[in-house]
Chains A and B, each alone.
Chain A
């Protein structure tokens, strides 16, 4: 071999070592269980860090590794629906495939992603009026799919690197105590800022509607039980919708989605929406209320919820 080639090979081999070392670290720590071959780090630390930094990816990979036939898809509002209680009531294992601040287009993408990994039988989609907006758009599921299909992208990814750091920190130094949120302050913030973000700009979601109808048609064809669930918001939050002049739009939203599968509404003036103690913040119900909703949802006849037809 040429002397100069030898120098290149020798230096190149040394140069590449840190890159190989990084690949080994990712496979060993693997906070999202992507390779699912190493348990150096406890599942608890992995889950804590991964859920914090990329709940969507964690849930998607977790679902891919342990698929179920029944799923609940949506944003953080459906996260609290207790799967254990559902199992007790129905005997079915439900998996909650959620993403914080998920948009409807992402929820639709998640449905198809889940459909790739499982023979679905029961699907519950959490959908509220704020998602029913052409402007409410984000495209994180495409990124997640890229990650799932391409290990190279998983290994060399800033988000994964951050999660590895956090997982190691949680494992060896314990999870930092979460500072308790000032409930009143956060409540006000949700009413003023979050509601404004949701309702200040609204456009009829023509594309989303047709994508939803595709899902509906597919579910009918494959005999999948599709349920659309409108979770409750506190009335103060709902009042903001009225202030933004979207009452008619909300009504037509309910009418339009009632065409798909079974649509059950909890977001109308009722004992839950009028009760401040039923909510952690204006749009997230407490654990006990989430349990009540689940019990109502899976009962023979609805007591709180309303079947939209």
Chain B
């Protein structure tokens, strides 16, 4: 089920109403049924994978809890890792690896007869696999107590607001919340609804509108060059942010309506002053997951320099691969790893220059840092969005091919018109990006909704109506589209 569907608009109030009518002891049953139904609306059979993952990790954790020796616990941990990652590999990566091996064999004219499977990637498999794995690893490390209630553990794995695209929750944060009675609170429900509203606006109005240009260009690259590619790439930069942070806002907001607090996933990432800061603000639940379960176990930064670089690079490479079975995602991850290594390597000379010209903490330097980090992120997004590596290189080699014509306004206008949307639509798109970034700027000094709560009613309601009517009227109505991160 999509958040941006009429189905969800009916489903959600029904679930919330029943949730508050039920006694605390029985609420997990409702949440489990609702979550499984939510998932099964997409494909009924694949619920088996979630159930399998749940049962494996429930049982493994119980076994590990009964053992005191770490070596014995490790065997159980390996069972969980192999089975969870095995399912993930089978459904997500098998065909990709198989095709690449096939290509290598073909190169040497060697027969390779392993067939590829025609299977549909289960929605959200990477998300719920990582969520259950974090629980098992935490139990193994003694960081979280074992969960004895199978039903509540099953809800933890499949909790519908964050089931298909996160935030990837940690067991010691989310699990205890299922045992606490959440009473109906008008203020909390209102706050949750406000966050959902903003999430819907970002997804339905901004991301889906930008997607028209982005998809039009990136799926027909032969027809475009220069300025058109630049506009489409910039639009994708904001599309993916609005799409994914919009999803996270709806997830966090809908959980909050029922009294659950999920972790923040985005904190104005495009205002980051370095790539390292960018990763503290972008998809926080995933970056902290990789930090805690891959980067630190590899040794983190408490190792010799070359090993530190290696740890960073591997973490980002795997992060790229996590996103999808395509070389484009691997290159995207490798690029971010390289950015970080270069930032560390160039730290001293950079500091020397800043001291020499007394630029430290100046406004100009901060602006430059934000601009530079943004440009690096945009460059990497080319690989993320391109359908394959050669498309990405086509974009890179052509994106500035007509830079000399930028002063020719009528030609630029003509290029914009060639993107397949009207001039008004283009203006609306640019306006919406500015609006969204102004919201983000305003949010720097505190939660926008809390600040709005202090304003008179007519302002508050005015803002709500603008957003609601914006969603209803400005959404490109023929595009009820998936969230980008569903594919991961």
Partner pick for B468 among A5, A19, A143, A161, CB 8 A cutoff: A19
Residues of B within 8 A of A8 (CB): 186, 189-190
Q: Is residue A165 within 8 Å, beta carbon to beta carbon, of the partner chain?
A: no
Assuming the contacts A143-B478, A156-B473, asked whether A135 and B223 have C-beta atoms less than 8 A apart, the reply is: yes
The interface residues of chain B lying within 8 Å CB-to-CB of A15 are 461, 464
> What secondary structure prevails in chain A residues at the interface with B?
helix
A135: nearest residue on chain B (CB-CB)? B223
| Cβ distance A134 to chain B, nearest Cβ, rounded Å | 10
Q: How long is the Cα–Cα vector from A152 to B20 in the complex, in angstroms?
A: 29
Residues of A within 8 A of B189 (CB): 8
Q: Does A142 contact B (CB under 8 A)?
A: yes
Report yes or no: B477 in contact with A5, Cβ–Cβ below 8 A. no
Q: Cβ of B477 and Cβ of A157 under 8 Å apart? A: yes
Chain A hits for B468, CB < 8 A: 19
Residues in B with CB closer than 8 Å to A161 are 473
Chain B residues within 8 Å of A7, by CB: 186
Give the residue of A18, A142, A147, A152 whose beta carbon is less than 8 angstroms from that of B465. Answer: A18
| Closest chain B residue, CB of each to CB of A147 | B477
B6 interface residue per 8 A CB criterion: yes
Quote the shortest CB–CB distance from B469 to chain A (angstroms).
8
Find out whether the CB atom of B478 lies under 8 angstroms from the CB atom of A142.
yes
CB interface residues, B 1-22, toward A, < 8 Å? 6, 20
| A146 in contact (CB, < 8 A) | yes
CB distance from B209 to the nearest CB of A (A): 12
* Cross-interface CB contact of B184 among A5, A135, A156, A157, cutoff 8 Å: A5
- B478 touches which one: A4, A135, A146, A156 (CB < 8 A)? A146
- Annotate B177-195 by CB proximity to A: 1 below 8 A, 0 otherwise: 0000000111001100000
Is A158 at the interface (CB under 8 A from chain B)? yes
- Asked whether B472 lies within 8 Å of A156 as measured between CB atoms, the reply is yes
From residue A259, how far is it (CB to closest CB) to chain B in Å? 29
Point out the residues of chain B lying under 8 angstroms from A143, CB to CB: 477-478
B448 within 8 A of A: no
B196 CB to closest chain A CB (Å) equals 14
CB 8 Å contact bits of B463-477 with A (1 = contact, 0 = none) = 011001000111001
A18 to B6 CA separation, bound complex (whole angstroms): 20
Q: Does A66 contact B (CB under 8 A)?
A: no
- Interface pair B478/A2, CB less than 8 Å apart: no
- Beyond A2-B184, A4-B184, A8-B189, is A153–B464 a contact (Cβ under 8 Å)? no
| B186 cross-chain contacts in A, Cβ below 8 A | 4-5, 7-8
Which residues on the B side are within 8 Å of A153 (C-beta)? 477-478
- Nearest B residue (CB) for A3: B186
Q: How far is the CA of A15 from the CA of B193 in the complex (A)?
A: 13
Not counting A135-B223, A143-B477, A146-B477, a sample of 18 additional A-B residue pairs whose C-beta atoms are within 8 angstroms of each other reads: A4-B184, A4-B186, A5-B20, A7-B186, A8-B186, A8-B189, A8-B190, A15-B464, A143-B478, A146-B478, A153-B477, A153-B478, A156-B472, A156-B473, A156-B477, A157-B473, A158-B474, A161-B473
Which 7 residue pairs of A and B lie closest in terms of their CB atoms, listed nearest first?
A156-B472, A4-B186, A143-B478, A146-B478, A153-B477, A158-B473, A7-B186
